[in-house]
Amino acid sequence: MREFDDAVLECFLENQEQLFPEPVAETLDEADEFLQDCMAVVVDSVSEIMEYFDEEGIDMEGATDDEILDADEVFDVGDGRYLIVEG
């Protein structure tokens, strides 16, 4: 059973090269397995992205919302959610 829904997996498949020099997954199942392996998370807002980065010790203090959303690790799912993948 997949941990991530199709919208999240399709977002990652379409945009994975923003974080990796070449594709790391080609199918939804491969994407799901990869995201599970690297402990990816889905959050519902920019403030939750900030909380995640803060918990992980990534300094984003003073960054604007646009700068946070432009981080290579952040994928906009398109439905108000964001996928965070550490490369």
Could you report the per-residue pLDDT of 59-87, keeping only the tens digit for each?
Answer: 888 999 999 999 999 999 999 999 999 87
Judge contact between 53 and 86, C-beta under 8 A.
no
1 lies in some domain:
no
- The domain containing residue 80 runs over which residues? 6-84
Higher per-residue confidence, 3 vs 2: 3
pTM across the whole model: 0.93
16 lies in some domain:
yes
pLDDT of residue 61: 86
CA distance 73 to 52: 12
Number of domains making up the chain: 1
59 lies in some domain:
yes
State the maximum Cα–Cα separation within the chain, in Å, rounded to a whole number.
39
Burial of 1 from C-beta contacts in 10 A (0-12 / 13-18 / 19+): exposed
The string of pLDDT tens digits covering residues 39-57 is: 999 999 999 999 999 999 9
pLDDT of residue 35: 98
